[in-house]
């Protein structure tokens, strides 16, 4: 989310001017699929949006990078937020509750404190990083503390102006927001990272993904978005007497003209259920499912398979996402 600076401050920390900053990841990313970035930095000066790759993964005015968690259960388990570089804590806040901004009255309750529970760190030479939307009661540092790169600052939360658990990571140089993927570069080609502030190790996990899967799962009933966001409605084994077999998928970065296909196959490889949809407009986030109700006898026991495919019209109908999941019915 777009966030403001914290108000609690220490006196300015002056270190010798440096020519740049090298950043470690603020969140331990999934080593199999890479970091789950929901929104990038906006480089468009007008009302539209354009990220450093000339893509549309974000929204107008977004001044940082949103590293998100898949669901609230991951947040409740505790997801550490790390200092991107060594420095001194300028400001910290740790009293705001973890409540979605969609809850009634929350937008007014957080006015002027949209960053939620946050930590701001000065790194010398005019550089600063800020870590926003942290979990209440989790922040381990305070103003004036010196920290090292990779040191735990707190945990990912749902405080401030946010609808999903994530850390909004902001980099500033002399008070102005900077995209860590391009650094201080003013003119760069789409996808050019030659001026990147990320360390080589971090860059290995930061390949650009304009579209991706947040999470998938199986359910015995029509899934509810509230339960999905909480980390529920996700089973790998169900009873043969279940009322229904449902497969669901949550995505980010849907583009106009994309077509999705969801299928469930029974233990004999026959299509049990199928659903197709073409998208008339872009979707920052999307949830869909396919399933079938049991109408008589129990489900045949064995291994069921679900498949999801996403085709991109802007790339000639090329398949850009494909996944398969297995369900055991006993």
Q: What share of the chain is helix, strand, coil (3-state, %, to 5)?
A: 5, 40, 55
5 pLDDT higher than 50? no
Query: Looking at residue 33, what is its pLDDT?
Result: 62
**47/59 Cα distance (integer angstroms):** 9
Per CATH, the homologous superfamily of domain 37-203 is Glucose Permease (Domain IIA) (2.70.70.10)
Q: Give the strand pairing for 302-312 and 318-329.
A: antiparallel
**pLDDT band at residue 186, thresholds of 50, 70 and 90?**
confident
Q: 309: exposed, middle or buried (C-beta count within 10 Å: 0-12, 13-18, 19+)? A: middle
Q: Looking at the predicted structure, is the pLDDT value of residue 263 above 80?
A: yes
Distance CA 271, CA 245 (A): 13
At 229, which helix (H) or strand (E)?
Answer: helix 225-230
For the chain, residues classed under CATH 2.60.40.10 are: 212-329
**What architecture does CATH give domain 212-329?**
Sandwich (2.60)
Distance CA 105, CA 120 (A): 27
pLDDT in tens, 195-205: 999 999 999 89
Residues of the chain within CATH 2.70.70.10 domain(s) are 37-203
Name every residue whose Cβ is closer than 8 Å to that of residue 148 and which is 6 or more positions away in sequence: 83, 86
At residue 225, the pLDDT reads: 87
Residue 158: both structure tokens together: 């749902």
Distances 290 to 25, 26, 120, 261, 301 between C-alpha atoms, Å: 36, 36, 44, 9, 19
Residue 2 reports pLDDT greater than 50: no
């Amino acid at each position: 989310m777009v966030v403001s600076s914290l108000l609690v401050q220490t006196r300015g920390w002056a270190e010798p001017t440096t020519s740049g900053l090298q950043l470690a990841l603020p969140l331990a990313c999934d080593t199999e699929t890479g970091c789950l970035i929901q929104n990038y930095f906006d480089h468009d000066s007008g009302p539209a949006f354009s990220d450093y790759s000339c893509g549309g993964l974000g929204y107008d005015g977004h001044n940082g990078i949103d590293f998100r968690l898949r669901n609230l259960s991951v947040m409740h388990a505790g997801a550490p937020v790390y200092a991107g570089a060594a420095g001194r804590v300028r400001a910290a806040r740790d009293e705001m509750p973890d409540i979605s901004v969609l809850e009634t009255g929350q937008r007014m309750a957080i006015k002027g404190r949209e960053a939620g529970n946050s930590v701001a760190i000065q790194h010398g030479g005019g550089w600063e990083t800020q870590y926003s939307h942290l979990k209440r009661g989790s922040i381990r540092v305070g103003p004036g503390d010196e920290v090292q790169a990779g040191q735990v600052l707190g945990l990912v939360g749902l405080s401030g102006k946010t609808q999903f658990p994530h850390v909004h990571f902001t980099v500033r140089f002399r008070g102005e927001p900077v995209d860590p993927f391009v650094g201080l570069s003013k003119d760069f080609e789409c996808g050019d990272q030659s001026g990147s502030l990320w360390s080589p190790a971090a860059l290995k996990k930061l390949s650009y993904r304009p579209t991706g899967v947040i999470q998938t799962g199986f359910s015995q009933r029509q899934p509810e978005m509230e339960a999905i966001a909480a980390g529920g409605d996700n089973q790998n084994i169900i009873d043969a007497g279940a009322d229904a077999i449902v497969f669901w998928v949550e995505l980010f970065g849907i583009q106009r003209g994309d077509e999705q296909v969801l299928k469930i196959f029974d233990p004999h490889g026959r299509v049990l259920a199928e659903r197709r949809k073409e998208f008339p407009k872009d979707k920052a986030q999307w949830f869909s499912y396919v399933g079938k109700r049991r109408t008589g006898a129990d489900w045949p026991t064995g291994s069921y398979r679900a498949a999801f495919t996403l085709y991109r019209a802007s790339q000639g109908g090329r398949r850009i996402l494909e996944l398969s999941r297995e369900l055991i019915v006993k």
